[in-house]
Structure 1
Amino acid sequence: MPDDVAPPNKPIALHFGAGNIGRGFIGALLADSGYHVIFSDVNQAVVDALNHEHAYRVDVLDQQEFTKTIKDVEAVKSESQDVVRDLAHPNTRIVTTAVGVTILQKIAPTIANGLQERRRVSAPPFNVVACENMVNQTEILKDHVYKHLPEEHHAWADEHVGFANCSVDRIVPGGRLDEEHPLDVGVEAFFEWVVHKPALRAPIDPVVQSMVLTDKLDAYIERKLFTLNCGHAATAYLGHLRGHHTIDRAIADPEVARIVRGGLEESGAALVRRHGFNKEEHAQYIDRIIDRFKNPKLSDRLERVGKQPVRKLGRQDRLLGPTYMAREYELPIDNLARIIAAAFLFDVKDDEESVQLIEKVQKVGVEDAVAEMTGFKTGTDEHRKVVEGYHQLQSKK
């Protein structure tokens, strides 16, 4: 960490993942809030570029576009001793991630090594916040870390390291690579970062701009996951079947928009029952989500949004999560079932999970594939609706 980049007394944020979300959302907020941001990434070219420029541009793609320059940043290669050194630095106040759920277990050994070093040098308490699109993502990271952390350090870590779950929301589309300025990234204007306050072991200091601290995180997480992420994936799967290529074009299709809105209304009815949201306010939240999808300046490709359909069909994830919740309250799921069916038809050759799902249907048949992937038993109303939706959508391809 060169002294001319990070002043000795400046607070440090270590962020795993220097991709578009890391640079355009989490890293940008941390830098704007007064942190010296150190990105950790596997991409040597990105690491070198960050260390050469120490800055990059974020283009905010709103009706009135504007640009922000993010400064005071550097980078280290993931799984290197540099990460352990920076993690143990007494000025490091917060560690964040935006690497993808499957990568959390890969960075866990490095974090465990950093915690041991942090204890050795008597660094003060700090916080870890995994900013991934799933429920309880930081608890999952903590479980991975503790598997690599010797047991004699667990009690110390429980007291000195806050592993706080969060809800993150900002659309950061891919496909905007500028070869002359590869670090620059485009983002939508809207963002939300909500963190579970009771899990923190130190104040968020400096305060991160627009971060919301709450003791009722579950409601925020499920509202976002079962509305934004559900609607985003639904638009991708249904739009792909209709021959569209971007989210804005897909949601402009009346047939796609009808099913997406219907699914979000079904999900919303369950969320209102579970968490006591105001019905009218949640309807406005759905409207705002769909309006965000319509932004043509994002030009978000369906292949990016819909990738990894097997993961997105997880029991607590964006498609099955709201469906199971709705059935718990005996609420309708007709549109949600149609959206789940569309995921089984997401045929993208360069997406491994898409290929896996298509091959499973071909091998065992759609009835058994749906039962296995969703947990809906053959003969149940839920299973029947998904299978019928599959055949109806397939006939229209």
Structure 2
Amino acid sequence: MKAVHFGAGNIGRGFIGALLYESDYETVFLDVNGAVVDALNERNSYEVTLMGSEQQTIRVGKVHGINTLSHPAEGAEAIAQTDLVTAAVGPKVLPMISSLIAEGLRARFKKNPEPLNIIACENMINASSLLKEHVYTHLSEEEREMADRLIAFPNAAVDRIVPDQTSDDVLAVAVEPYYEWVVEKPAIKGAVPAVEGITYVDDLSAFIERKLFTVNTGHTVPAYFGRYKGFQTIYDAMQDEEIEELLRGALGETGEVIIQEHGFDRAEHEAYIQKIIGRFQNPNISDHVTRVGRGPLRKLGKNDRLIRPASLYWQLTGKEPIHLATVIAAVLLYVNDEDPEAKQLQEMIAAEGFEKTLQKVAELEADNPLIPIILKRVDELRRK
């Protein structure tokens, strides 16, 4: 079996590529990083280290690369002949790969008109659907009709922590042992891709929100509150009792949302929370708080990991989301001159104040009950 994967970065190699190899796929990585592509073609393999209590190294083989800057036609041809396409390039890059996918589909319709599933493995909701929208802008009406019959863009929820890398080897990558890759089964066209590690489900939305409101929300606590308290790494922040207490409180609030909205078993979800906290406490995969905290404007979006669960908690329980409000306050106080979004956030606050900035960034109406709760926490943190 053959797979094409967009993005030969750490997540692409250490997560998706590793599982494709375990499932006996021959994988072509499409990327613009010439050094990585050249190394893939020289070695046809790389090492992935699982950073658990006991480290384990596995070798991933049957791989090569195509530089899509210098050889786009080869990338399109690979798509035309493959059995599966996956992508892990980051949400902002999805539009940039859409034209090449469209070119590959155009060739496929002529040479190999078989069903194909294209799965965007990104840290966002409905990434594959977004990719489909961009791909379709490059197709004619006739080609879109053909794609509707043959091409699927199943959405996915993915989860694996890939920390900052320290190896001098351009291909070696270290990851945590835990992972989750959930794909919506009803959207599949043709045979269900036989990939070890994928969990196929009928309703993906519950799993997407469970991951977003637990893993992603949870990670913001040691990142932003850790930065506020002067810690450098997630692991160091997790040694602080106040931060761990805030984390448990925030995940208690998001957990109530998940349970009430999606019907997860309370005991099972509590066990899931404990597992997530344990992952943040793993010293072998600790990351810098500034890396986890990058992009605060996006993370304060109305449908993202903080504002949405805080709003839902208020609506579902009638109680103030005290812990989530504290985390949001820490984001508003986040200072990092090396992060463009952090600089923009502080410039907005300096010009318009906390209240107006919060309304604008989180798209909240002026009378939204969350605003005074959050501003109260901002004042408390500033006085400390």
Whether TM-score is above 0.5 comes out as yes
Aligned to 2:95, which of 95, 105, 108?
A: 105
Q: Does 1:364 align with 2:364?
A: no
Aligned to 1:212: 199
Deviation of 1:232 (Å): 0.7
Aligned to 2:41: 51
Aligned to 1:83: 75
Deviation of 1:259 (Å): 1.2
Contact 1:378–1:384 (CA<8 Å) still a contact in 2?
A: no
Aligned to 1:354: 342
1:310-343 Cα distance to aligned partner (Å, 9 max, x none): 1122222111221222123134311111111211
Distance between the aligned counterparts of 1:240 and 1:203, measured in 2?
47
Deviation of 1:379 (Å): 4.3
Contact 1:167–1:195 (CA<8 Å) still a contact in 2?
A: yes
Q: Which moved more, 1:261-270 or 1:373-382?
A: 373-382
Contact 2:314–2:320 (CA<8 Å) still a contact in 1?
A: yes
Aligned to 2:166, which of 171, 177, 200?
A: 177
Q: Does 1:28 align with 2:15?
A: no
Amino acid at match of 1:201: K
Aligned to 1:3: none
Aligned to 1:287, which of 247, 264, 274?
A: 274
Q: Does 1:161 align with 2:151?
A: yes
Aligned to 1:392: 380
Deviation of 1:35 (Å): 0.5
Amino acid at match of 1:86: A
Aligned to 1:343: 331
Q: Does 1:319 align with 2:306?
A: yes
Contact 1:37–1:72 (CA<8 Å) still a contact in 2?
A: yes
Aligned to 2:63: 73
Distance between the aligned counterparts of 1:177 and 1:77, measured in 2?
24
Deviation of 1:234 (Å): 2.2
Amino acid at match of 2:356: D
1:339-381 Cα distance to aligned partner (Å, 9 max, x none): 1121122212121111111111111111100111123333442
Q: 1:78 to 1:347 in 2, by over 3 A?
A: farther
Distance between the aligned counterparts of 1:324 and 1:126, measured in 2?
38
Number of residue equivalences? 381
Distance between the aligned counterparts of 1:315 and 1:16, measured in 2?
29
Q: 1:331 to 1:212 in 2, by over 3 A?
A: farther
5 Å matches for 1:216-255?
A: 216-255=203-242
Aligned to 1:135: 125
Amino acid at match of 1:60: L
Partner SS, residue 148 of structure 1: coil
Q: 1:359 to 1:185 in 2, by over 3 A?
A: same
TM-score (norm 1): 0.93
Aligned to 1:333, which of 312, 317, 321?
A: 321
Contact 1:270–1:331 (CA<8 Å) still a contact in 2?
A: no
Aligned to 1:304: 291
Distance between the aligned counterparts of 1:363 and 1:29, measured in 2?
48
Amino acid at match of 1:334: I
Deviation of 1:215 (Å): 0.5
Aligned to 2:108: 118
Amino acid at match of 1:81: A
Distance between the aligned counterparts of 1:122 and 1:45, measured in 2?
31
Amino acid at match of 2:210: R
Q: Does 1:263 align with 2:250?
A: yes
Q: Does 1:198 align with 2:190?
A: no
The Cα RMSD (Å) is: 1.3
Q: Which runs of 5+ in 1 are unaligned?
A: 1-10
Q: 1:211 to 1:15 in 2, by over 3 A?
A: same
Distance between the aligned counterparts of 1:393 and 1:186, measured in 2?
36
Aligned to 1:6: none
1:288-315 Cα distance to aligned partner (Å, 9 max, x none): 1001100001121111111111112222
Distance between the aligned counterparts of 2:247 and 2:347, measured in 1?
26
Q: Which moved more, 1:144-153 or 1:124-133?
A: 144-153
Distance between the aligned counterparts of 2:42 and 2:381, measured in 1?
50
Amino acid at match of 2:182: V
Deviation of 1:281 (Å): 1.3
Distance between the aligned counterparts of 1:376 and 1:260, measured in 2?
24
Aligned to 2:85: 95
Q: Which runs of 5+ in 2 are unaligned?
A: none
TM-score (norm 2): 0.96
Deviation of 1:216 (Å): 1.3
Amino acid at match of 1:237: Y
Distance between the aligned counterparts of 1:97 and 1:296, measured in 2?
29
Aligned to 1:278: 265
Amino acid at match of 1:140: L
Distance between the aligned counterparts of 2:12 and 2:84, measured in 1?
14
Distance between the aligned counterparts of 2:167 and 2:263, measured in 1?
45
